[in-house]
């Protein structure tokens, strides 16, 4: 009996030790892993809202980084310096109802629009002082949001409702809705054509939407992508990038031929993706705990060059197209949430010997 008790006590001790190590890891995130391409600058520590703090979309403006505090309902504004190469220590906060998802900025009008999924509204604020101006009721589950300058419309992806809401920023009112064939996840606008592309996570497709006519003008499969999530567009090379939360992939879609031309393995549970057109890099934030860096060799060839260790739950990011900084939002347990700031030295180039992986699968024709 004594021997069995000793064994049980040792097993219990191992279990308790393991749980403690997991809690320490979740509460106190270490600095990101080493990178040949990015330099970790610092963490921006945000105000704590509750025991669990989960962040959602990040948006970069001329002078600030806006962060959506999903679980606590706050929108954070982090000041950037004049040349956008460094963040300041000034953090402002707009508190509100939980399940805040995204922030769409309209700089010319000094307006910002915020999706609040918990109460199904889009809040209108003044981004300079974070003052709430108005709340607009919308359909269920307002999530991703963007501003299209060409049509002067705010586009809202309503996930559970299976539709998109269009808002006139001048009237601060809903002007139309577009029924979608599936559950929308993330939209992106092609600057060349003005067409908006919306991926649908439950049917693994992407649709093209003409915001002028407010209608769907195309729909194509994204296989082998399972549950498409974040999305970005390279308008110059006519390519669309989407990460796939269901099978840890990133796929490249040809906007002219309407087909997948490359697919590659990335980190587990990818959620956000961003493209730096100057450096020809794709960044994907994966909730399993890494930041994947993909080099665009040319329009049809891509290589996964790094997987930088981040933290469990660090699933959202933004890239500054001017300063080339990369911002990664960290979730937290019992501690304050934070944003990891990486700089991208312009003299860094990817050599053939530095390739982390050769997992990009060529599916298309040779580069034109």
- Give the residue among 31, 42, 51 at the shortest CA–CA distance from 337: 51
Per-residue pLDDT averaged across 199-225, rounded? 98
Per-residue pLDDT averaged across 118-133, rounded? 97
DSSP structural state of residue 195: -
Res 367 pLDDT > 60? no
Res 351 pLDDT > 50? no
CB atoms inside a 10 Å sphere around CB 52: 14
Q: What CA–CA distance (Å, rounded) separates 209 from 218?
A: 7
DSSP string, 277-288: TTTTEEEEEETT
Res 197 pLDDT > 50? yes
Res 274 pLDDT > 90? yes
Angle in degrees, CA 333, 21, 53, rounded to 5: 5
Which carries the bigger pLDDT value, residue 7 or residue 165? 165
Which carries the bigger pLDDT value, residue 89 or residue 231? 231
Contact between 32 and 291 under an 8 Å Cβ cutoff? The reply is yes
Res 176 pLDDT > 70? yes
Q: What CA–CA distance (Å, rounded) separates 122 from 141?
A: 11
Q: What is the pLDDT of residue 70?
A: 92
CB atoms inside a 10 Å sphere around CB 318: 22
Q: What CA–CA distance (Å, rounded) separates 368 from 359?
A: 22
Q: What is the pLDDT of residue 362?
A: 36
Report pLDDT digits (tens) over 45-84.
999 877 788 999 999 998 899 999 999 999 999 998 876 6
* Sequence-distant (≥ 6) Cβ neighbours of residue 46 within 8 angstroms: 53, 55, 67, 69, 76, 91, 93, 336, 337, 338, 339
Per-residue pLDDT averaged across 195-222, rounded? 98
Q: What is the pLDDT of residue 301?
A: 96
Q: What CA–CA distance (Å, rounded) separates 92 from 7?
A: 53
Percent of the chain residues topping a pLDDT of 70 = 85
Mean pLDDT of the chain: 88
Confidence of residue 234 (pLDDT cuts 50, 70, 90): very high
Please give the torsion angle defined by the CA atoms of residues 76, 82, 86 and 87, in that order, rounded to the nearest 10 degrees.
-20
Phi first, then psi, for residue 36 (nearest 5°) are -85, -20
DSSP structural state of residue 45: E
Q: What is the pLDDT of residue 137?
A: 98
* Sequence-distant (≥ 6) Cβ neighbours of residue 238 within 8 angstroms: 192, 254, 255, 256, 299
Per-residue pLDDT averaged across 263-292, rounded? 96
Which carries the bigger pLDDT value, residue 3 or residue 182? 182
Contact between 243 and 272 under an 8 Å Cβ cutoff? The reply is yes
Q: What CA–CA distance (Å, rounded) separates 327 from 199?
A: 23
CB atoms inside a 10 Å sphere around CB 85: 14
The tally of CA atoms less than 13 A away on the side-chain side of residue 35 is 26
Q: What is the pLDDT of residue 80?
A: 86
Write down how long the chain is.
368
Per-residue pLDDT averaged across 80-104, rounded? 84
Res 365 pLDDT > 80? no
Q: What is the pLDDT of residue 82?
A: 73
Q: What CA–CA distance (Å, rounded) separates 60 from 105?
A: 9
Q: What is the pLDDT of residue 345?
A: 85
Cα dihedral across residues 240, 243, 246, 251: positive or negative: positive
Res 346 pLDDT > 50? yes
Per-residue pLDDT averaged across 12-26, rounded? 50
Q: Give the three-class secondary structure for 357.
A: coil
Res 93 pLDDT > 60? yes
Here the tokens at position 141 are 């589950």
Report pLDDT digits (tens) over 126-174.
999 999 999 999 999 999 999 999 999 999 999 999 999 999 999 999 9
- Give the residue among 175, 139, 137 at the shortest CA–CA distance from 158: 139
């Amino acid at each position: 009996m004594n021997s069995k008790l000793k064994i049980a006590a040792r097993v219990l001790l191992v279990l308790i030790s393991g749980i403690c190590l997991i809690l320490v890891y979740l509460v106190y995130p270490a600095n990101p892993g080493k990178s040949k391409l990015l330099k970790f600058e610092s963490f921006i520590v945000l105000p704590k809202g509750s025991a669990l703090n989960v962040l959602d979309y990040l948006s970069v403006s001329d002078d600030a980084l806006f962060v959506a505090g999903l679980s606590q309902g706050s929108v954070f504004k982090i000041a950037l310096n004049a040349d956008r190469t460094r963040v300041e220590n000034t953090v402002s906060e707009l508190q509100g109802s939980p399940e805040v998802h995204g922030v769409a900025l309209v700089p010319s009008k000094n307006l910002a629009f915020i999706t609040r999924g918990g109460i199904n509204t889009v809040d209108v604020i003044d981004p300079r002082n974070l003052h709430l101006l108005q709340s607009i009721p919308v359909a269920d589950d307002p999530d991703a949001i963007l501003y299209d300058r060409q049509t002067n419309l705010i586009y809202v992806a309503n996930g559970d409702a299976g539709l998109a809401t269009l808002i006139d920023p001048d009237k601060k009112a809903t002007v139309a809705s577009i029924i979608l064939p599936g559950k929308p996840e993330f939209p992106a606008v092609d600057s060349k054509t003005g067409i908006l592309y919306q991926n649908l996570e439950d049917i693994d497709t992407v649709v093209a939407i003409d915001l002028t006519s407010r209608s769907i003008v195309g729909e194509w499969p994204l296989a082998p992508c399972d549950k498409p999530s974040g999305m970005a567009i390279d308008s110059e090379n006519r390519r669309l990038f989407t990460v796939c939360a269901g099978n840890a992939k990133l796929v490249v879609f040809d906007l002219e031929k309407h087909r997948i031309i490359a697919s590659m393995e990335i980190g587990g549970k990818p959620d956000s993706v961003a493209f730096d057109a100057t450096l020809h890099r794709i960044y994907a934030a994966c909730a399993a705990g890494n930041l994947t860096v993909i080099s665009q060799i040319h329009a049809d060839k891509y290589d996964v060059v790094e997987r930088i260790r981040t933290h469990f739950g660090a699933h959202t990011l933004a890239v500054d197209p001017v300063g080339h900084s990369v911002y990664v939002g960290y979730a937290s347990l019992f501690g304050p949430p934070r944003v990891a700031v990486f700089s991208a030295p312009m003299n860094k180039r990817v050599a053939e010997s530095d390739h982390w992986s050769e997992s990009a699968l060529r599916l298309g024709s040779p580069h034109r």
